[in-house]
Amino acid sequence: MNSDALYNVARAAKTICAGATVMMLMSLSTIAAAQPFLPRVQSSFVFSTIPANGDVNPYGVAFVPSGFPGGHLNPGDILVANFNNSASKQGFGTSILRVQLNPQPGFQQTSTFATTGGVTGLTAALGVIKQGFVFVGSAPTTDGTSNTVSNGPLLVLDNAGNVVDTINSPPLHGPWGLAINSTNAAHVQVFVSNVNVVGNQPPGKTGTVSRFDFSFLTPGTIHMDSITQIGSDYSNTADPAAVVIGPAGLAYDGKRDILYVAGEDDDTIFAIPDASTTTDHGTGKVVYSSLRHLHGPMGLVLGPNGDLIVANNDSINANPKRPSEIVEITASGAHSSLSSRLIRTSMGHSESRLENLTSSRS
C-alpha cells in the first residue's frame, strides 16, 4: 500500500483508540475498485502519541508525502497533533509528534517535531505538502472547557518545525479539519473546515469551509495568494464534553474535483463539487446521512478503492454497542463498518487492538 492510501486509513482510524495512542490499520492485499475496504483490514500496530511534554488527545494525523525535502522530516513519517496538555486540559495541547516507521515489523521511533508555544489546542486540521511545509489548526481554551473556546489560527511550519506564518484572516474561523489539493508543484490548495464556535455558543449553523491558494515563488518560501469561502450553513455548537462540534473532517477527490465534508453535528456527509474553483453555495450535496451509522463523524478520508471512510467520535447520537465505529460509504450507498474497543490500560499508556473484527452491509 502506498503512503497516500495508508494516510487515508490513519486519519480514519484516529478515533478508534484513546487519547494516548493511534492505531494504524493496514491491508495486506490490493483493493479492487468495486470491493469494500474495511473487511480487508488484516493487521495493525499501535504506538504512543505522548510526546516529551506529556500532551495527550491526538486530533490530527498526517503522512509526510513523497518528494518532501527532508531535514527534520522524511517521506513516510507520520505527524500527530495533540489537542490536550499533560493535565488533559482541552484546548491546551501544543505538540506535533513525529513517528518514524522502521521496516522491521512492530518497531517505531517517536520524537517531538514541533511545539507551537502560545498557540494551543491543536486540531485535526493537520496536513503536509511536498514543498516542505506543514499546516496545523488551533481551537484554544483558557480553562479547558467549552465556556472559553475561541477560533485559533492556521499555522504554517517549515520542514524544521519553525512557524513561518500565522493565518488569522477571515473567512478562517476555528480550523477543525483539513484536506489538500497538491497536484501542481507550483500551486497548492488547502481546504479547511471552520467550526466557528466562540465561548459557550448555543447550536447554530455558522460552520464554514474555506479554500486557501498558495504559491511558491522560490524554493523554501510559501506565499498565500487568496482565501475563498466555498461552504457554509453547517451545524455547530459548543459542547461540554467535546468542546466544539461542527464541520470536521475533509476529503478531497482530485479526479472529480469534489470536496467531501463531515458534518459532525449533522450526522451527515456533504459534497462540494468543483471545489478547486467554486465559491460558496451552502453546504453542498448530501451524500450520506444516517442516525444509525453516523455518530458525530469527525474523521473523513478517501479509501484506496475510492470509497469514503468515516470515523465517528461519538459526540452526537452515540451508540454504546458500537463505540468508535468506522464506516465505509460505497458509491452505491451501502456501507461496511468496523468496531473496536479499549481492552487494557497500563503505565498511563492506552494499549488497544482490534477485537472481534466484524463487518456489516446494510
Residue 21, domain member (yes or no): no
Phi then psi for residue 257, to 5 deg, are 55, 50
Q: Which residues is 44 bridged to in the sheet?
A: 25
Q: Note the pLDDT of residue 40.
A: 55
pLDDT, one tens digit per residue, over 83-94 is 999 999 999 999
Nearest-CA neighbor of 313 among 290, 302, 297, 300? 297
Tell me the average pLDDT across 333-349.
35
Provide the CATH number for the domain around residue 256. Answer: 2.120.10.30
pLDDT, one tens digit per residue, over 49-63 is 999 999 999 999 999
Q: Yes or no: say if 327 and 293 are a contact pair by the CB < 8 Å rule.
A: yes
Residue 96 has pLDDT above 80, yes or no: yes
Q: Yes or no: say if 96 and 161 are a contact pair by the CB < 8 Å rule.
A: yes
Q: Domain limits at 286? A: 46-320
Residue 6 has pLDDT above 50, yes or no: no
Residue 9: CB atoms within 10 Å: 24
Residue 1, domain member (yes or no): no
Residue 172, domain member (yes or no): yes
DSSP state of 15: G
Q: Which is more confidently placed, 21 or 159?
A: 159
Nearest-CA neighbor of 304 among 47, 40, 54, 102? 40
pLDDT, one tens digit per residue, over 218-238 is 888 999 999 999 999 999 999
Residue 166, domain member (yes or no): yes
pLDDT-based confidence at residue 303 (cuts at 50, 70, 90): confident
Number of structural domains in the chain:
1
Residue 25, domain member (yes or no): no
C-alpha grid cell, residue 303: 479509501
CA distance 138 to 167: 11
Q: What is the dihedral of CA 224, 187, 263, 126, to 10 degrees?
A: -70
Tell me the average pLDDT across 275-280.
97
CA distance 123 to 127: 11
pTM of the model: 0.84
In one-letter notation, the amino acid at residue 263 is: G
74-78, 136-140, 285-289, 332-336: lowest mean pLDDT where?
332-336
Residue 339, domain member (yes or no): no
Number of H helices, E strands in the chain: 1, 25
